[in-house]
Each structure stands twice: as C-alpha cells, then as structure tokens.
Amino acid sequence: MSLSLMDGLKARLQWLQARQSLVSSNIANANSPGFKLLDLQPFVPDENRSGLTLRATDAAHVVGSDGGIELSSNHPIPFETKPSGNAVSLEDEMTKLADIQLDYQMASQLYTQSLGLLKIAIGKK
C-alpha cells in the first residue's frame, strides 16, 4: 500500500462531496423555471500521482487510442423538459444521490482500512 492510494481516495471523497452538493442543488431547484441541470465531469484519478496505470500486457487486451480507458464527457439529454424550461428529473437525481452515497461509503471504508494498515505498520495499534 502506498500513500498515493490514500491521496487518490481523498480526492475521490472530495469529488463525491462536490457532486452531492450539485445534485442536491438540482433537486432543490426542480421547480425553478429555466433551471439548467448541473453535474460534474466523471472522476479521473491522476495517474501520475498514484503510480497506477493501465497497460496491455497481452495481445488480447483492448485499450483506447491513448493506451488507457476513454471516457465521454457528454451528459445524457434529459428525457423530459417541463414547459417552464426546467429539465430536472427527480427520479434521475435521486438515483444519482443513491449512487453517490454508495460510492462515498465504499471510498470512506477503504480509506479507514488503509489508515488501520498504516497504524499497524508503524506499531500504533
């Protein structure tokens, strides 16, 4: 385990916190005329900092044009727009919040476990 893993988890937790704030704002403004849906770009860990990279180690591996995974930054077009110009779907936003909660729980548990391993390694447990 490296400290860069902890940095990556910390960055993921901060990104999830910011995304939850935006999704909550979307829900709060679900009835505001002309409100535009807000969301963050997908989280991409800094590979230079983490030391983790994806490699094709076999000819059968599929890689993107840059040797890694390609992510699309396009957000899906809302299914329905209200006559007031608001395109917030409460069902979609609540689903996003549930996904964020699960991701946050997983990342925070990994962070806690990593801290526990560090404590064991330095003899503080």
Closest to 93 in 3D by CA, of 110, 78, 81: 78
Question: CA–CA separation, 63 vs 6, rounded Å?
Answer: 27
Q: What percent of the chain has pLDDT over 90?
A: 34
Question: CA–CA separation, 89 vs 77, rounded Å?
Answer: 11
How confident is residue 82, by pLDDT bands cut at 50, 70 and 90? low
Mean pLDDT, all residues of the chain: 78
Question: CA–CA separation, 12 vs 50, rounded Å?
Answer: 12
Question: CA–CA separation, 25 vs 98, rounded Å?
Answer: 15
Q: In this predicted structure, what is the pLDDT of residue 95?
A: 94
Report pLDDT digits (tens) over 101-111: 999 999 999 99
Rounded to whole angstroms, the maximal C-alpha distance in the chain is 63
How far apart, in Å, are the Cα atoms of 83 and each of 37, 87, 88?
Answer: 15, 9, 12
Report pLDDT digits (tens) over 19-50: 999 999 999 998 888 888 888 888 887 755 54
Question: CA–CA separation, 49 vs 47, rounded Å?
Answer: 5
Residues 6+ apart with CB under 8 A from 73: 41, 42
Least confident of 17-21, 82-86, 92-96: 82-86
